[in-house]
Amino acid sequence: MGNKKTLLALGFFLIFGVMSLLIGSEATPPSPVVKITPELKEKFPLKPHHEKLSFKCVDCHAEQGDDPENFKAIDDKGCLSCHKTKQYLADRLKFMDALHVNPHNSIHDGPKLYCDECHFEHKKSDNMCLSCHSNDVKIWMRPTP
Ligand code: HEC
Ligand code: HEC
Ligand code: HEC
Ligand code: HEC
């Protein structure tokens, strides 16, 4: 009888010991489970280029908790975690430099502008340059993706 109890106690001791070791040695806490309903997806639609990559909310809203309604906008750092650097983006649209109409490397600001001066994810983007140059330069009359 006594032996069984000691064994049981020892068993618990072992299990809790291993568990606390595991928890203690874990470098990062597991990411919270974010429940995404069809309604939420409809409320926060993605741009087609991101949608077709099947991005999850947390691919952009990383470490913003588990309540999707309370996610916050992501800044340049968020976009650039995948899109590299502002200079890299400027170089990709280099063919527009000839007319000085590269939105990523403008004659006014160079490659310094914030992404959200033009690009939005859940709503229509808006090329800030057009607020002043609405009709001058046809090459960036395409809608901002
Ligand atoms: C998790 C990674 C990731 C994040 C974060 C991300 N993107 Fe993307 N994005 C991609 C990938 C991958 C593509 C498709 C490949 C490509 O064109 O580079 C893409 C495509 C795009 C395109 C279309 C490219 C084209 O050729 O038409 C635009 C515009 C864009 N992203 C802007 C943004 C902006 C602005 C942000 C920040 C709000 C952002 N992305 C955040 C990965 C990401
Ligand atoms: C001044 C407005 C403006 C700003 C600021 C801006 N973009 Fe753009 N971006 C555009 C426009 C306009 C296009 C489409 C150009 C074209 O006609 O192909 C574009 C195209 C893109 C593309 C697709 C072309 C490519 O290079 O692959 C990506 C990706 C992109 N932007 C990401 C970003 C990110 C990330 C930031 C912030 C670092 C940013 N943009 C800042 C206006 C802007
Ligand atoms: C490709 C990156 C990306 C993905 C994926 C993404 N978001 Fe966003 N989210 C943004 C950006 C950028 C903003 C800033 C506002 C905007 O651009 O529309 C934002 C803003 C938000 C906001 C704040 C809105 C406000 O008015 O302040 C909420 C809430 C949100 N997103 C929820 C979601 C949900 C839910 C999902 C998944 C269904 C999701 N997001 C997927 C980039 C993303
Ligand atoms: C607040 C208004 C405003 C915004 C926004 C703006 N510009 Fe300008 N831009 C001007 C003015 C004013 C001039 C000088 C016009 C002139 O000399 O005739 C100018 C001049 C230019 C020129 C030189 C034209 C020439 O005659 O050589 C280019 C190219 C240009 N802008 C591109 C851009 C780009 C790209 C963006 C977006 C990143 C942008 N602008 C945003 C007001 C603006």
- Output the residue whose Cα is nearest ligand 2's atom 40: 115
- Output the residue whose Cα is nearest ligand 2's atom 36: 115
Q: How far is the CA of 2 from the centre of ligand 2 (A)?
A: 73
pTM of the model: 0.88
> What's residue 99's pLDDT?
81
What number is the average pLDDT over the span 102-109? Answer: 93
- The two most distant CA atoms of the chain are separated, in Å, by 93
> What's residue 25's pLDDT?
47
Q: How far apart are CA 56 and CA 13, in angstroms?
A: 40
Strand partners, 106: 110
The average confidence (pLDDT) of the chain is 82
Q: How far is the CA of 116 from the centre of ligand 4 (A)?
A: 19
85 CB-near residues (< 8 Å, 6+ apart): none
Indicate the top mutation candidate among 105, 129, 139 to test ligand 4's pocket, ranked by most ligand atoms within 8 A of CB.
129
* DSSP annotation of 79: H
Residue 68, sorted as left (phi over 0), alpha (psi -120 to 50) or beta, turns out to be: alpha
- Pull the structure tokens for residue 3: 């032996």
